[in-house]
Amino acid sequence: MSEEIDQKEESVSEESLFEAPPMAEQERMCEAILFASAEAVTIKELNSRMPHGCDAAEALVHLRKRYEGRGVRVVKVGDAWAMRTAPDLGFLMQKEMVETRKLSRAAIETLAIIAYHQPVTRAEIEEIRGVSVSRGTVDQLLEMEWIRFGRRKMTPGRPVTFVVTQEFLDHFGLENARDLPGLKELRAAGLLENRPPPGSMPTLGEGDDGEEESSEGQSELFED
Q: Is the peptide bond before 22 cis (omega within 30 degrees of 0)?
A: no
What stretch of H or E contains 73? strand 72-77
Q: Which residues contact 40 (CB under 8 A, 6 or more apart)?
A: 77, 78, 80, 81, 82, 166, 170
Domain of 204 in residue numbering reads as 102-218
Q: How many domains does the chain divide into? A: 2
- Residue 15 inside a domain? The answer is no
pLDDT in tens, the chain (224 residues): 444 434 433 443 344 456 889 999 999 999 999 999 989 999 999 999 999 899 999 999 999 999 999 999 999 988 899 999 998 888 887 765 565 657 788 888 898 889 888 899 999 999 988 888 888 888 889 988 899 999 988 888 889 999 999 888 888 777 777 777 666 665 665 555 554 444 433 333 333 333 344 333 333 333 33
- Residue 134 inside a domain? The answer is yes
Statement to judge: residues 115 and 82 lie in one domain: no
Statement to judge: residues 144 and 119 lie in one domain: yes
Statement to judge: residues 88 and 115 lie in one domain: no
Angle between helices 122-129 and 105-117 in degrees, nearest 10? 120
Domain end (from 95, 123, 140): 95
CA distances for 162 relative to 40, 168, 181, angstroms:
22, 13, 20
Nearest to 110 by CA among 201, 224, 220: 220
Q: What is the 3-state secondary structure (H, E, C) of 139-158?
A: HHHHHCCCEEECCCCCCCCC
- Residue 108 inside a domain? The answer is yes
- Residue 135 inside a domain? The answer is yes
- Residue 9 inside a domain? The answer is no
- Residue 8 inside a domain? The answer is no
Q: 3-state DSSP: the chain helix, strand, coil percent, rounded to 5?
A: 50, 10, 40
β-bridge partners, 29: none
Statement to judge: residues 187 and 157 lie in one domain: yes
Statement to judge: residues 67 and 145 lie in one domain: no
> If you count them, how many residues does the chain have?
224
Statement to judge: residues 73 and 171 lie in one domain: no
Domain end (from 36, 71, 95): 95
Statement to judge: residues 26 and 47 lie in one domain: yes
What stretch of H or E contains 127? helix 122-129
CATH number for position 170: 1.10.10.10
- 163, 114 in Cβ contact below 8 A? yes
Statement to judge: residues 90 and 140 lie in one domain: no
Domain end (from 67, 95, 123): 95
Distance CA 21, CA 29 (A): 10
pTM for the whole structure = 0.46
Nearest to 177 by CA among 116, 119, 121: 116
Statement to judge: residues 154 and 206 lie in one domain: yes
φ, ψ at 30 (rounded to 5°): -60, -40
- Residue 5 inside a domain? The answer is no
Statement to judge: residues 147 and 210 lie in one domain: yes
Residue 8 burial (CB count, 10 A): 10
- 213, 205 in Cβ contact below 8 A? no
pLDDT at 90: 81
Angle between helices 23-36 and 56-66 in degrees, nearest 10? 80
- Residue 83 inside a domain? The answer is yes
SS3 106: helix
Statement to judge: residues 89 and 142 lie in one domain: no
Statement to judge: residues 125 and 192 lie in one domain: yes
